Amino acid sequence: MDCWGKWKFIIVMLVINLALAIVNILLKKTLDGGLGGLIIVTYRQSISAVFLTPIAFFLERKSRTELTSRILCHLFISALIGITFTHYLFLLGLQYTSATYSCAFINMVPVNTFLLALPFGLEKVNIKNKGIGIAKVLGALICIGGAVSLILYKGMPLTNQHSESTLQMQNHANTMAFSSAKKNDRWAVGSVFLASGCLLWSSWFLIQEKIGKSYPFQYSSTAILSFFGAIQSAILCFITQRHIVMSMWILKGKLEILSVVYAGVIGSGLCYVGMSWCVKQKGALFTAAFTPATQIFAVMLDFSFLHEQIYLGSVVGSVIVITGMYILLWGKSKDQKEMVIKQTQAADQDQECGPMPQGMPLDPLGFTSYVDLRIIYQLVDWALQECINAEVAAQDRI
């Protein structure tokens, strides 16, 4: 039992990342088969909403508070940024590149979130502690450098050297040279889509943090997000792709049906529940640290089942991104430990100094420490009490 207690969170996160890697592989095959990206997002979010709604109803029916129009507005914006646009851009990038390459950009999400949180004061860099502050800044810069190398440098293929496409390149050098240049252009365009999608996803985490404080019901909020995401994706599909006819919405073949059902139930349903559970039990830092596992699983599946080539640029850029991310996460973990120690010490000092009197001004003398204020107040209170006692004693003598 003790062994399972230590390893269960690691096993759950590895299973979740394997499931997400399978989602990427299936969606890549579905996109190559001709099914539109927004159609996939619409089906995926619809299935997720249907799957999560009864769970939210039964698990949160007693504790759920009133759903106000303000919260609904926040959820609508959150769905637009974190589901509709993010998934659409990511699927576009996946269509132009590969599942392995697209997963490399997911590793940028924790770093992007950290950088976006700095201006809003949600994250801080402790300059006084040079080790932790430098680690967080250095990790972010290394991660950005890895992302830039992913976009600008593709490199030579490391696998599948004797594939059919490689033989055709040897037999038709001039024609395939033009095709290779065109493919490189598609790779660059796909990189821009992936980077934009990851940036929006990072912004979504900041929005969700605010929603989580005002409406802390993860199953209900996720079901509503999926519902809004499905409607938004369908509307965006009809606006941007007017040539699509109703027959293109019909899922053809077992692969398309399996892909959207799996992505909806597992990718947007159970995986979210599992990650939320791990965040609640072990914290967001622990959960984010397993993000690179998605790419590792995607590499194995991509090469084994899709027979995609693995390029040197993807490997080098991924290693740089993962290294920077773990340096940043290390700095953040040390920062959190120091905050816990300081809070514990402050609580101990508060207990020694006594409770803070109600109605007292927060900083009347320009001090910044509650401990200093309590000590001064206790001294003044003691002096006043002595004066009162002396006056009472004098009246008793009279």
- Residue 354: pLDDT over 60: no
Q: For the chain, what percent of residues have pLDDT higher than 70?
A: 70
In DSSP notation, 127-155 reads: SSSHHHHHHHHHHHHHHHHHHHHHHH---
Check residue 261 and give its pLDDT.
Answer: 92
| Identity of the residue numbered 89 | L
Task: Quote the DSSP letter at residue 356.
Answer: P
Q: Which stretch, 66-75, 205-214, 281-290, has highest mean pLDDT?
A: 66-75
Asked if 17 and 291 count as a contact pair (C-beta separation under 8 A), the reply is yes
C-alpha angle with apex 329: 132 to 136, nearest 5 degrees? 40
Q: What is the tens place of the pLDDT at every residue in 165-224?
A: 444 444 444 444 444 555 567 778 888 898 898 888 878 877 877 787 788 887 888 889
Helix, strand or coil, per DSSP, at residue 363: coil
Task: Give the Cα separation of 222 and 217 in Å (integer).
Answer: 8
Task: Give the Cα separation of 361 and 377 in Å (integer).
Answer: 11
- Residue 68: pLDDT over 80: yes
Check residue 398 and give its pLDDT.
Answer: 52
Contacts of 82 (CB under 8 A, 6+ apart): 200, 201, 203, 204, 207, 208, 225
Check residue 361 and give its pLDDT.
Answer: 41
Least Cα distance to 189 among 160, 218, 154 occurs for: 154
Check residue 122 and give its pLDDT.
Answer: 66
Task: Give the Cα separation of 64 and 80 in Å (integer).
Answer: 24
| Whole-number Cα distances in Å, 143 to 50, 99, 203 | 37, 20, 17
- Residue 358: pLDDT over 60: no
Q: Which stretch, 185-194, 355-364, 389-398, has highest mean pLDDT?
A: 185-194
Check residue 49 and give its pLDDT.
Answer: 92
Tokens 């340096």, residue located:
327
Helix, strand or coil, per DSSP, at residue 311: strand
Least Cα distance to 13 among 208, 269, 201, 294 occurs for: 294
Task: Give the Cα separation of 119 and 206 in Å (integer).
Answer: 12
C-alpha angle with apex 132: 131 to 137, nearest 5 degrees? 100
- Residue 272: pLDDT over 60: yes
- Residue 133: pLDDT over 70: yes
Contacts of 343 (CB under 8 A, 6+ apart): none
Q: Extract the tokens encoding 229.
A: 């995401």
Check residue 387 and give its pLDDT.
Answer: 53
Task: Give the Cα separation of 54 and 194 in Å (integer).
Answer: 33
360: pLDDT confidence band, cut at 50, 70 and 90?
very low
- Residue 267: pLDDT over 70: yes
Q: Extract the tokens encoding 29.
A: 């095959």
How many CB atoms lie under 10 A from the CB of residue 37? Answer: 22
Higher pLDDT, 188 or 266: 266
Contacts of 172 (CB under 8 A, 6+ apart): none
